[in-house]
Each structure stands twice: as C-alpha cells, then as structure tokens.
Amino acid sequence: METKAIGKSAFDIIYEEHAEYVYKTALYYCGNHHTAEEITQTVFMKFYVNMGDINEDKVKAWLAVSAKYMAINYKRESEREILLEEILYDEDKDCDTNLSSEEVYIEKLHTEECRMLLEDIFVELYHYNSRWYDAITITYLLGKPQKEVADIMNVKIEVLHTMLYRAKKWIKKKYEEQFSRLEGI
C-alpha cells in the first residue's frame, strides 16, 4: 500500500480510500444513516490511535470488521433501550381502567401509526431540505427559543420564520391526507 504522497499523511490516504466502504458496512448492519456516520467516525478514530499496531495489508479488513461489530453492538444495545416516554405512556394506560383491552390495543396501534408518520415526515424533510429539518428540529423538538435558533443557524430571525413557515406548509401539503386519515381513526 502506497502511503507517501505530497502533503498527505498515511491516515488521510487510508481515510479517503476506505471511508465510504466503512460507512456502507456500518449502514448495512445498523440500518440508520446517522448512526452509520457516527460509527464511521469512531472506527477511524480507533484506527488512528492503533494505526501503528495494524498490519498495512489488513487495513481494509480491520476497518470493515470494526464497523460491523460496532454497528451490531449499537443495534443490540438500542433494542434493549427503553425510552422514558414509553414507560410513562404505559403507566398512564395501566391506570385507566375504563378502557377495554381492545380500546387499549387500538390506541396503541394509532400511536404507533402516528409515530411512524412522524418518522416518515422527518426523513422526507431531511432529504428535501436539511435547513428546514434543522429549523423544525431545533425549534420544536428541542424547544429552543426562535432567536436562539436563528443565532445557531446563523440567520436572521425573519429568515428563520420564513423557513419554519415554508417547512410547515410543505409538510401540510405533502401529508394532509395521512393526517386526516389518522384523525378519523
């Protein structure tokens, strides 16, 4: 493996040659774009630290195996994870004795459909316009004041208002049918 280049270190060359491969490996095993990016970063960080101990001919294999097992471990740990909202939601349902088991089941299905729709919306929004995604996420999900969000995004408050308005309008137009179907249930 040729590691000498003008102005490049051996690590830079290896990173450029294998970053996409490591990302795709991580994505295959974990199934999440953001997690795969984090795993790729972590794999290359560990590679950088242990670079002297890794056989030059086995770099690609080392990177692939590291990415694979980090992704598998992440997926296994995330499956065991219980969100606080789920615990609180389940406790609220257990306390309500007026609902029949069928009503509880239907309500859980409805909640799951709403969650899946929300997930779809955010994925689509991220792919359609990542700036809108950031504005919506920081403002509404993280609950930050709009002035602070404008500062974070390095835009004027008026620009943020326009982004939020356009994002909400796009969501309403694209998902109006699904919303009305879910409201009818």
**DSSP, residue by residue, 80-102:** H---HHHHHHHHHHHH-TTS-HH
**How does pLDDT run across 55-97, given as a tens digit for each residue?**
888 899 999 999 999 998 888 877 766 665 655 555 555 445 5
CATH architecture, range 84-184? Orthogonal Bundle (1.10)
The answer to whether the beta carbons of residues 42 and 51 sit under 8 Å apart is no
How far the first Cα of the chain sits from its last, in Å, is 61
The phi and psi torsions of 8 (rounded to 5 degrees) equal: -120, 145
State percent of the chain over pLDDT 70.
84
What integer pLDDT is reported at residue 2 of this predicted model?
Answer: 46
* pLDDT in the model for residue 110: 80
Gap between the Cα atoms of 35 and 85, Å rounded: 21
Share of residues in the chain with pLDDT > 90 (%): 27
Fold category of 10-80 in CATH: Rna Polymerase Sigma Factor; Chain: A (1.10.1740)
Least confident window among 17-31, 33-47, 107-121: 107-121
Cβ partners under 8 Å of residue 64, min gap 6: 21, 22, 25
Predicted local confidence at residue 156, as pLDDT = 92
DSSP state of 41: H
pLDDT for residue 5? 37
Question: What are the boundaries of each domain within the chain?
Answer: 10-80, 84-184
Q: What is the pLDDT of residue 30?
A: 87
Contact present, 132 and 125 (Cβ < 8 Å)? yes
